[in-house]
Amino acid sequence: MTILRPRPAPVAPAVTRASLTSVQRLLGRDWRLAAVFMAPTVILVAALILFPIVSSAITSTTERHGAETVFVGADNYTALIGDELFHTGVVNSFVFTAYAEIFKVVLGLIAALMLHHMRRGKAIVAGVLLLPWVVPTVVTAFSWRSLFDPIFGSVNTLLTDSGIGPVLASLHLVDAWPAGWLSDASLAMPSVILVNVWKGIPFFTVTFLAGLKAIDHGLHEAAMVDGASPWQRFVHVTLPGLRYVMIVTVLLSSIWTFNNFDLIWLMTQGGPGDATAPYVMVAYSKAIQQLQFGAGAAVTLVMVPIIGILVVILVRMMRRSDAPGAGDLGRSRLTPAQRKALPWVAVAVATAALAWASPQIIWKAALVLGVCVVLAAGVGRAISTLAARGRERAARTVNGVGSGVALIGLLLFVLGPLYWIVVTAFKSDTQITMRTSDLWPTPWSMEQFTDLFTSQPFGTWYLNTILVSVASTVIALICAALSGYALARLKFRGSESFTVTILLTYVMPGALLFIPLYQLMSGIGLNDSLWSLVITYPTFTLPFATWLLVGYFKSIPADLEEAALTDGCTRFQAFYRIVLPLAKPGLLAVALFTLTNAWNEFLFAFVFITKDGYKTLPVGMQSMIFGDVVPQGQLAAASLLISIPVVLMYAFGQRFLTEGLTAGAVKG
């Protein structure tokens, strides 16, 4: 009998320190190759992120006097001490972020728990819940702005017909009925918070769901054997298992939310008055509208310490997550009593700050949040009690009914605005103005689509968006693949520091960059040009793409490349022929994310482009509004057309997206 033995894998020759040159010992074995692979990313990061930040710091010490710019030292910073508009902007940013994160955590956790315990249809429901996160921000803003419209919107109508609206007024949750959601200073901030929560819940739900899947099922079984109730298992097993995921998710979301510009601008432009104006909008007003670049730069830079604290915590969390004992973060420095008291101290401090910053909102938010938590806890308690008494059938019935009602409510909340966009797009102007056939067009009409292409340069905006998105994605993908491979495989001095730098630039807000980048584009004559967008979009796509691909390349066995090198391939040939084909899911995931981010981008396009012929879809749609004249039908049709490509890309790329993100997140 012949026994076939597997051919042993070739082993790359060992490289000893003695065989290295003095330069290699100083800079690393692969420093020359790393320089070639890293050069494009280093140039882009230095030119578009690091240099603009330094330039912004210099600009903040100057002031424009007519055609001249003079040095004023720290005057721009000291002027902020007495600037009431700046104070209002900072408070608004804090209030907007704090309430949005609280509701996203609670509702996202409830949604994740429901999906985690679903036996059928989990993938379908998860895909539906992802829609608010997928659709462009401009679509989110216009759909909710349309719903909140006191004349043509359906929120007031539905709440009045159901009797809920008068109840809200009687409970003083709104000052009067019908409510002016975006025109009333007391309701505008809660309204934009609601919209941000609507868009952010999918991100929290998906990440929490991934965290729940990672919790060892044996821990729950052991707790059940010990007689722990469902509530005790949730508190002592589920929440500790989700701690790391929750902290990282909240930190990332807080950085993004604190620096939000496009959603608030598109919905309220900071009004009424300054009721919803965040600090980013204050910086935009000073730098772009008033051409006081120094004052605007000072506004963004003075907030860097707050963002820096969040970024440092995030980096430490992510770096410690790969180290042994990462789950015991901070335990060596705190006593058990301190660890137990720390969350309550943080809650007390945050509550006191919110009570001071938003006394008119905090009790309303607490009431709404309390109702959600009490209902969820009540259903869980009822199920636990019935199960303890041996009434398993009744417990399953209560669980099914409670989960079904909650799921229906969640789906209505998620799909309602999207459904409104679809039906409005197929209404005629008469149906919209006369409020006939609100929830179902009768008859369905293509009038809005026809008017959109005949009265607006919508086709030009669409083509511009495609060109900019594809070009910036190609640039980001090529540079990220080269640098990600170098950071994952090559040995050179500074690789770890550059990986941290990539992560830092990834979470750096566009608010910190748009002023110096605007000056840079103006200086080289690229304003009002698509090239300004193609060049600057890698500032927010390249760092993420590199960070994700570093993790994905690490998940590919290095033995495959070593075998290719032994057979005579160069390092670049091994990268091109072996690694890239195996990294296809990661590359597709990165391409999908960078393409959709470029497709949806608003701030840079809004600042850099003023001519209709060069506008992208988000900015073009915003320009369709003239004062109080809002073409509801055309905006709905445009929102539908801008969303369809993104939704289709996510639908067809979902498998690659999941595989690419999973590998990258585990190793990144």
Beta pairing partners, 63: 70
- For the ranges 113-122, 322-331, 407-416, which has the lowest average pLDDT? 322-331
Closest CA to 426 of 442, 446, 411, 408: 446
- For the ranges 88-97, 504-513, 538-547, 619-628, which has the lowest average pLDDT? 504-513
The pLDDT assigned to 326 comes to 45
Alpha-carbon radius of gyration of the chain: 27
Percentage of the chain lying above the pLDDT 90 cut: 14
The answer to whether 647 and 157 have CB atoms below 8 angstroms apart is no
How far apart are alpha carbons 146 and 429 in whole angstroms? 14
Q: How is residue 464 written in tokens?
A: 């511009």
The pLDDT assigned to 324 comes to 43
The pLDDT assigned to 666 comes to 41
Q: What angle do the packed helices 538-554 and 495-507 form, to 10 degrees? A: 130
**What global pTM score does this model have?**
0.83
How far apart are alpha carbons 559 and 565 in whole angstroms? 10
The pLDDT assigned to 612 comes to 85
Confidence of residue 385 (pLDDT cuts 50, 70, 90): confident
Confidence of residue 657 (pLDDT cuts 50, 70, 90): low
Q: From residue 448, how far is each of 86, 421, 459 by CA, in Å?
A: 41, 12, 14
Flag whether pLDDT at 322 surpasses 90.
no
Work out the number of other CB atoms within 10 angstroms of the CB of residue 143: 26
Flag whether pLDDT at 490 surpasses 90.
no
Average pLDDT across the chain, whole number: 81
Give the H/E segment covering residue 444.
none
How far apart are alpha carbons 69 and 76 in whole angstroms? 13
Coil, helix or strand at residue 626: strand
The pLDDT assigned to 656 comes to 57
Q: What is the 3-state secondary structure (H, E, C) of 17-35?
A: HHHCCHHHHHHCCCHHHHH
Coil, helix or strand at residue 63: strand
How far apart are alpha carbons 379 and 382 in whole angstroms? 5
Q: From residue 85, how far is each of 185, 241, 286, 489 by CA, in Å?
A: 16, 43, 11, 50
Average pLDDT over residues 232-245: 82
Token pair 């919905």: residue: 267
Confidence of residue 467 (pLDDT cuts 50, 70, 90): very high
The pLDDT assigned to 253 comes to 85
**Highest mean pLDDT, choosing among 7-16, 386-395, 601-610, 621-630:** 601-610
Coil, helix or strand at residue 528: coil
Confidence of residue 2 (pLDDT cuts 50, 70, 90): very low
Q: How is residue 115 written in tokens?
A: 């999906």
Flag whether pLDDT at 285 surpasses 70.
yes
The torsion defined by the Cα of 589, 595, 596 and 598, in degrees rounded to 10, comes to 140
Q: What is the 3-state secondary structure (H, E, C) of 218-253?
A: HHHHHHHHCCCCHHHHHHHHHHHHHHHHHHHHHHHH
The pLDDT assigned to 214 comes to 79
Coil, helix or strand at residue 508: coil
Question: What are φ and ψ of residue 626, in 5° steps?
Answer: -115, 100
Question: What are φ and ψ of residue 238, in 5° steps?
Answer: -70, -55
DSSP secondary structure string, 381-399?
HHHHHHHHTT-HHHHHHHH
Average pLDDT over residues 461-470: 94
Identify the burial level of 268 via C-beta atoms within 10 angstroms of its C-beta, where 0-12 means exposed, 13-18 middle and 19 or more buried.
buried
Flag whether pLDDT at 48 surpasses 70.
yes
How far apart are alpha carbons 258 and 280 in whole angstroms? 9
The answer to whether 631 and 432 have CB atoms below 8 angstroms apart is no
The answer to whether 183 and 272 have CB atoms below 8 angstroms apart is yes
Work out the number of other CB atoms within 10 angstroms of the CB of residue 535: 22
269: left (phi over 0), alpha (psi -120 to 50) or beta: left
pLDDT digits (tens, 9 = 90+) for 475-486: 999 999 999 998
Confidence of residue 405 (pLDDT cuts 50, 70, 90): confident
Q: Which residue has the higher pLDDT, 297 or 663?
A: 297
Confidence of residue 664 (pLDDT cuts 50, 70, 90): very low
How far apart are alpha carbons 31 and 571 in whole angstroms? 13
232-239 long-range contacts, CB within 8 A, separation 24+: 234/380, 238/113, 238/212
pLDDT digits (tens, 9 = 90+) for 149-186: 877 778 888 888 888 888 888 887 888 888 888 888 88
Q: How is residue 330 written in tokens?
A: 């901070």
The pLDDT assigned to 665 comes to 45
Average pLDDT over residues 269-273: 87
pLDDT digits (tens, 9 = 90+) for 554-606: 888 888 888 888 888 888 888 888 888 888 888 888 888 888 888 888 888 99
The pLDDT assigned to 658 comes to 52
The answer to whether 639 and 421 have CB atoms below 8 angstroms apart is yes
Beta pairing partners, 62: 71
Confidence of residue 667 (pLDDT cuts 50, 70, 90): very low
Q: Where are the beta strands (DSSP E) in 477-518?
A: none
